[in-house]
Amino acid sequence: MISKLIKVHPSDNVAVALVDLYTGDSLQFEGKTLLVLDDCKAKHKISLVDLAPGDSIYMYGVLVGKALSQIPVGGVLTTQNVKHEANSVSQKTETTSWTAPDITKWKDRTFMGYHREDGQVGTANVWLFFPLVFCENRNIELLKDVFEKELSFHKASRQRQLLRNLIQGVPEDTAVVEIEEEQAIFDNIEVKFITHQGGCGGIRQDAVALSKLLAGYVNNPNVAGATVLSLGCQNLQIDIFKNALAGITSDVKKPVLIYEQQAEGTVDAMLARIIKDSFEGIKKANGIQRKPASIAKLKMGLECGGSDGFSGISANPALGYASDLLAAVGGSPILSEFPELCGVEQELVNRCVNDEDASRFMQLMKAYEKSAIDAGSGFDMNPSPGNIKDGLITDAMKSAGAAKKGGTSPIQAILDYGEYVTKPGLNLLCTPGNDVESTTAMVGSGATVVVFTTGLGTPTGNPIAPVLKVASNSTLARRMPDIIDIDSGGVIRGEKTIEEMGEEILEYVIQVASGAIESKADILGQDDFIPWKRGVSL
């Protein structure tokens, strides 16, 4: 008999509905009969005890809320009867021991990657164009149009083919006319383009933060070389960018071509020079071939977005197990989204290998929350309407499930936004909870692949790193097959264990990292890039 409820942790006083439940349903759960008092959609929570106003609510073994009104056994938790509440943390209370998973089948595994002179290994081979300031966005777009059309990097979309039919007056029910495609000039290099709205106009700290992010993209082993455009008078000066790059590596081993428009003359002359120089760099980078590398060279971003009430019990803990496997073989998982770690700080502090990192984590969390409060908000406002609709009604409840992506391994480093990953093992990176801002930051800190769990669906991708989507439920995987790479719904149905699903995720990552499988986000050409602006605009 398939269970209709699941209690995530033995100390929890609420359970998650695995299927839609209705008023009057009688369930056998933990040896007792439970009467459902209200209609309850799958993914939402039902109280297992009588809760009085002010009583604490526990899920995943941690405090996730407090009752605002009486909630009897069998009652459904809602935004009307529950408010956000989380335990406060002041210091490290213990050092958590860790039993690493069995890595017998993984310790000698390799992937086919792009080896860089600095010892890093990429999962992609990209020549990257980007501006230091938004004033150069138009020139980046002009270069994008030229290079994509002439090098045939992107096939004509089905939408373009449909428009061709409409232009030619072909009846709507007629098969779409296929547009003849040209063969790509190069077969071992991608050319990607980034634009943004930063680099000037904000406070100088924002320019410095952006410089670190962009320097991280250049240093990321997925990038073979870069073309950088500057106007000349902006806050993010060329020297600031060069200093940021030097802060990551003292000896840049890849070509970085930089052009300043105010020193170049006409746009046509500048673009002509850029095209000639960049083409030579792209042609040379195309000769770099994939070679075997240990999976310990992988840096894997751990992301979630469009989360639902199943994310924390299927996709996230499965990704957490994959993270533990990678950490155990010497790879570098990266957990971010600090607003979505609210309520589980004590566990994370105790997992920090050294006391300095434990203190830094608490300082970053408190400073971040204070800035949110000063802006008239707070971490308690983090859940989105979609989260709430699908059962994540408090930030602590969302966070407790989101943190499962980080597994159970020791935390080797705490990084602020824009800092680059250098240590093997689990790294925590301070970023917003916003999907694209967080993914953008992890790749800027060195992530060569990102695994993105979702319960509602999101097309998020990245210009230089593959982003793999893991559905928390099979309904989503069937409804949006063009964006979902992996379906973890078998965990909800009891067909797979967390460990089995975690191994399946890691195997898929290796195949994508080797170029054997293309991520759905890359197939769609989903190149999202949003820097985090922490300051005000001046």
Going across the sheet that includes 5-6, the strands are: 5-6, 14-17, 45-47
Contacts of the segment 382-388: beta carbons below 8 A, 24+ positions apart: 382/339, 382/340, 382/342, 382/433, 386/306, 386/308, 386/456, 387/307, 387/308, 388/79
Tokens of 127: 């020549």
Helical spans, DSSP H, in 286-314: none
CA nearest neighbour of 503 among 121, 97, 60, 104 = 104
Measure Cα distances from 504 to 332, 377, 500, 517 in Å: 18, 39, 6, 14
- pLDDT of amino acid 89: 82
Residues sharing a CB contact under 8 Å with residue 10, sequence separation 6 or more, in sequence order? 61
- Rounded distance between C-alpha atoms, residue 349 and residue 352, angstroms: 5
* SS3 state at 368: helix
* SS3 state at 163: helix
- pLDDT of amino acid 80: 93
- What is the bridge-based pairing of β-strands 32-35 and 26-29? antiparallel
Burial tier of 232 (Cβ tally within 10 Å: 0-12, 13-18, 19+): middle
Strand partners, 17: 5
Sign of the CA dihedral 19, 490, 518, 326?
A: positive
Whether the Cβ atoms of residue 99 and residue 164 lie closer than 8 Å to each other:
no
- Residue-by-residue DSSP string for 428-459: EE---S-HHHHHHHHHHTT-SEEEEEESS---
- Rounded distance between C-alpha atoms, residue 397 and residue 124, angstroms: 36
Measure Cα distances from 442 to 2, 131, 333, 367 in Å: 39, 20, 10, 20
- pLDDT of amino acid 288: 96
- Other Cβ atoms within 10 Å of 291 Cβ, number: 12
Question: Which listed CATH number (3.10.105.10, 3.30.420.40, 3.40.50.800, 2.30.130.110) goes with 5-83?
Answer: 2.30.130.110
Whether the Cβ atoms of residue 365 and residue 338 lie closer than 8 Å to each other:
yes
- Rounded distance between C-alpha atoms, residue 406 and residue 123, angstroms: 21
For the chain, what are the domain ranges? Answer: 5-83, 116-290, 299-523
Measure Cα distances from 349 to 38, 95, 96, 363 in Å: 39, 9, 9, 11
- Other Cβ atoms within 10 Å of 228 Cβ, number: 22
Q: Give the chain's radius of gyration (CA, Å).
A: 24
As separate numbers, helices (DSSP H) first and strands (DSSP E) second, the chain gives 16, 22
* SS3 state at 57: strand
Chunk the chain into consecutive blocks of 10 residues (it has 538) and report each block's average pLDDT, rounded to whole numbers. Answer: 82 92 93 93 93 94 93 94 86 87 97 97 98 98 91 64 72 60 81 96 92 98 98 97 96 96 95 95 97 98 93 95 98 95 90 95 91 80 79 84 94 97 98 95 98 96 98 97 97 94 98 98 96 73
Span between the terminal Cα atoms of the chain, in Å? 62
Whether the Cβ atoms of residue 89 and residue 345 lie closer than 8 Å to each other:
yes
- Rounded distance between C-alpha atoms, residue 411 and residue 358, angstroms: 9
- How big is the CA angle at 185 (ends 180 and 187), to the nearest 5 degrees? 105
- Other Cβ atoms within 10 Å of 272 Cβ, number: 11
